[in-house]
Chains A and B, each alone.
Chain A
Amino acid sequence: MRPWIKAIAIPLATLLVLATARAEEPAPPPTPERSTLDAEVQELRREVVDLNRDLFMLEEDLLFPASTQIAVFVSMDVGTFFDLDSVQIRIDDKEVANYLYTTREREALLRGGVHRIWVGNMKAGEHELVAFFTGKGTHERDYRRGATQTIEKGVGAKYVELRISDRLRKLQPEFVVRVWE
């Protein structure tokens, strides 16, 4: 046998033997030491989840500092006259988001969920936000509407809500852009 074949065969055979030996071992009965170990593992898992959350927040703070941050949210109320399909957002004539909503996401919005569709950075000053809503209107007709809002970006973070609601008097959907400080 050539030496290099031997060199592959030996570690592979060892791994195979170890794996077989492990598989044949009977499961040890639970002991107090083992339950302590389980508790430690659970504690460790909880710490990892906490650490992951902290890292996520730190990443958000670093990537989108409050001085330049702008976030856009979509919310929906009732939705009798409009079945949402997609939302496109343009800021200063540049497309920043184009999101397709699935049935489950639409249901979540109708149950009161709020979707953060975009988060980004903008320098202080005046900016124009245009949102296009595509979907089905009454009688299954294709419906596309736009809403425009001028945003004055100051020092702090800016939150913009795109709200879709029903205007009962006109039997039409209503698209409102609301800026939160």
Chain B
Amino acid sequence: MNNIQDSTQDDRRAGRLVAAIAVLIMIAAPVMATTAPDFALRSVSGSNHRLSEHRGEVVALLFWASWCGDCRRELERFERLRATYAPAGFAVLAVSLDDEPASAAALAAAAGINYPVLLDSAKKVGRAYQADELPLILLIDRNGVIRARHDALDEREERGLLVQLRDLIDE
């Protein structure tokens, strides 16, 4: 009998703890959003780009490399998205983690993308954004806050990303 009462009390305690954590997460979620670390990188075309110069725009930051299988599909996907949403204030920056800039330039040209392809051969920016797996896609809002983080997208995830992107553009 005592054992049953103890387990009920444990259940209640655990329940209260879970509820408190849930409420805390709900309250703290907006505060926990992180500001995207600023950086400046040279692009394959030779021009320099700084992330903070895109404040006021919704930015998709796409980390990729020429040796990564899924990356080309993402590069092409974001070219289509850029073409559609650029007039609404959407910008795409692709950061290549290739050691050889020529490999990045060749793949970017083959994929037919018109947004800046930035070179991070030293991997400093990649480390700052913890790009451990490629591709890595980050959605950054107009205030420079990281709002979503994705890896390679399947169809269902692409729909989710589209919803997030439209929400950010509408904010």
Q: Chain A 97-141, CB within 8 Å of chain B: the 1/0 string?
A: 001111111000000000000000000000000000000000000
> In the complex, which range does the number of interface residues on chain B fall in?
10 to 19
Rounded to whole Å, the gap between the CB of A134 and the closest CB of chain B is: 11
A4 touches B15 (CB 8 A): yes
Chain A residues with Cβ below 8 Å from B14 are 4
Chain B residues with Cβ below 8 Å from A99 are 40
A103 touches B48 (CB 8 A): yes
- Identify which of B16-24, B60-68, B90-98 touches chain A: B16-24
Asked if A85 is at the interface (CB within 8 A of a chain B CB), the reply is yes
A7 touches B15 (CB 8 A): yes
Rounded to whole Å, the gap between the CB of B56 and the closest CB of chain A is: 13
Chain A residues with Cβ below 8 Å from B16 are 4, 7
Secondary structure type dominating chain B contacts: helix
A102 touches B40 (CB 8 A): yes
Chain A residues with Cβ below 8 Å from B8 are 3
Chain B residues with Cβ below 8 Å from A100 are 40-42, 48, 50
Residue of A nearest to B9 (CB): A3
Residue of B nearest to A10 (CB): B19
A102 touches B15 (CB 8 A): no
Q: Pick the contact of B53 from A6, A15, A102 — CB < 8 Å?
A: A102
How many A residues have CB within 8 A of the partner chain? 20
Q: Chain A 2-16, CB within 8 Å of chain B: the 1/0 string?
A: 111111101110010
Secondary structure type dominating chain A contacts: helix
- Choose among B14, B16, B26, B40 the residue with the greatest number of A CB atoms under 10 Å from its CB: B40
Chain B residues with Cβ below 8 Å from A15 are 26
Chain A residues with Cβ below 8 Å from B26 are 15
A85 to B46, CA, bound (A): 9
Asked if B72 is at the interface (CB within 8 A of a chain A CB), the reply is no
A57 to B26, CA, bound (A): 35
Chain A residues with Cβ below 8 Å from B50 are 100, 102, 105
Q: Known: A2-B11, A3-B8, A4-B12. Is A104-B53 also a contact (CB below 8 A)? A: yes
Residue of B nearest to A6 (CB): B15
Give the A-binding residues of B (Cβ under 8 A). Answer: 8, 11-12, 14-16, 18-19, 22-23, 26, 40-42, 47-50, 53
| 13 further interface pairs, Cβ-Cβ under 8 Å (given A3-B12, A11-B19, A100-B42) | A3-B11, A4-B14, A4-B16, A7-B12, A7-B16, A8-B22, A11-B22, A15-B26, A100-B40, A100-B41, A102-B40, A102-B48, A102-B53
Report 16 cross-chain contacts, Cβ distance below 8 Å, ordered by A residue: A2-B15, A3-B11, A3-B12, A3-B15, A4-B11, A4-B12, A4-B19, A7-B15, A7-B18, A10-B19, A11-B19, A99-B40, A100-B48, A102-B49, A102-B50, A103-B47
